[in-house]
Homo-oligomer: A and B are copies of this chain.
Amino acid sequence: MTSSSVTSIHSRDNAFVKDLRRLAQDSTAYRKQGRVWLEGDHLCRAALARGQRAAIAVYSESFWPQAQMEYAQAAPKTIVLADALWADISGLESPAHMGFVVELPQAPALQPGVATVVLDRLQDAGNVGSILRSASAFGFGQIAALKGTAALWAPKVLRAGMGAHFALRLVEGLALEDLDGLGVPLLATSSHEGEFLHRAALPWPCAWTLGHEGQGVSEALEARARQRIRIAQPGGEESLNVGAAAAICLHASAAARDLAQGT
């Protein structure tokens, strides 16, 4: 099952190992290298299931025998790393020491008329990944990340996104004015103002905006929104986790759409 392109590496100073270490540990290294690092069995399978192809498959030496059975021909190039090097690169305690290097898709432009999630300076990689996952689940096709948002293809975002990256159009580094091209109504989540989500009529397609973990959606962005929407919190908490708020809003759009179609 092995092909002629299998390379074993034992040196920390190998150029590929250095690049891979940067990809795995530096959240914006993908921009320089033009490729991303998917680590672990679950994430790699999710990417394959969405038709994504690996450029390079990377396995630890001790995982390599199993990899030859489970991942035969997963990529045109295979690299087998000495176990000691693996520990040096990976931050995961995954039992399967494997990962794929994938070519970063060409940065797309915003597509008008598409149901979109706008990220306004979100900081936490876990939150961003979880929102991408919810967006994909609820039929949103595009993510518009404003400048100051965490890097969308960072390894931690990829892990939390669990493959959603490969089902979405991801546009980064946008200015506020770029959103004018969306052509769908902006809905701003607010903690204190606007209509309650569960009583609101929601347009489709739309663009939900989600704001910075501490500061929420900026005033300038809120001013561009057609509706401000808040989530009723009878328990009296002042702020949900933004990933939780996103899930609730995006689901509400999908539910409203389904109910409108069904009646």
A241 touches B (CB below 8 Å): yes
Q: Is the CB of A198 within 8 A of B259?
A: yes
Bound-state CA distance A135–B237 (Å) is 10
Q: Is the CB of A240 within 8 A of B137?
A: yes
Closest residue on chain B to residue A161 by CB atoms: B241
Q: Is the CB of B258 within 8 A of A198?
A: yes
- Choose the segment among A98-106, A173-181, A221-229, A249-257 that binds chain B (4+ C-beta atoms closer than 8 Å): A249-257
Of the residues B167, B233, B241, contact of A243 by C-beta under 8 Å: B241
Q: Is the CB of B237 within 8 A of A133?
A: yes
Total number of A residues with any Cβ neighbor in B under 8 Å: 40
How many chain copies?
2
4 nearest interchain CB pairs? A198-B255, A244-B247, A137-B237, A137-B233
Given A247-B247, A248-B251: A237 in contact with B164 (beta carbons within 8 A): yes
Q: Is the CB of B198 within 8 A of A243?
A: no
Output the residue of A198, A235, A259 with the most chain B CB within 10 A.
A235
Q: Is the CB of A257 within 8 A of B234?
A: yes
A-B contact pairs, 16 of them (CB 8 A): A133-B240, A137-B235, A137-B237, A138-B233, A138-B234, A139-B234, A164-B237, A198-B258, A232-B251, A232-B258, A233-B254, A234-B257, A241-B243, A243-B243, A244-B244, A244-B246
Closest residue on chain B to residue A237 by CB atoms: B137
Bound-state CA distance A235–B258 (Å) is 12
Q: Is the CB of B164 within 8 A of A244?
A: no
Q: Is the CB of A231 within 8 A of B251?
A: yes
Of the residues B139, B233, B243, contact of A244 by C-beta under 8 Å: B243
Instruction: With both chains docked as a complex, state the minimum distance between the C-beta of A237 and any C-beta of chain B, in angstroms.
Output: 4
Bound-state CA distance A246–B167 (Å) is 23
Bound-state CA distance A133–B238 (Å) is 10
Q: Is the CB of B140 within 8 A of A235?
A: yes
Q: Mark A173-200, 1 if CB is under 8 A from B, else 0.
A: 0000000000000000000000011110
Q: Is the CB of A234 within 8 A of B247?
A: no
A85 touches B (CB below 8 Å): no
Of the residues B140, B231, B236, B241, contact of A133 by C-beta under 8 Å: B241
Q: Is the CB of B126 within 8 A of A235?
A: no
Of the residues B139, B162, B248, contact of A248 by C-beta under 8 Å: B248
Given A126-B126, A240-B134: A234 in contact with B248 (beta carbons within 8 A): no
A149 touches B (CB below 8 Å): no
Instruction: With both chains docked as a complex, state the minimum distance between the C-beta of A212 and any C-beta of chain B, in angstroms.
Output: 14
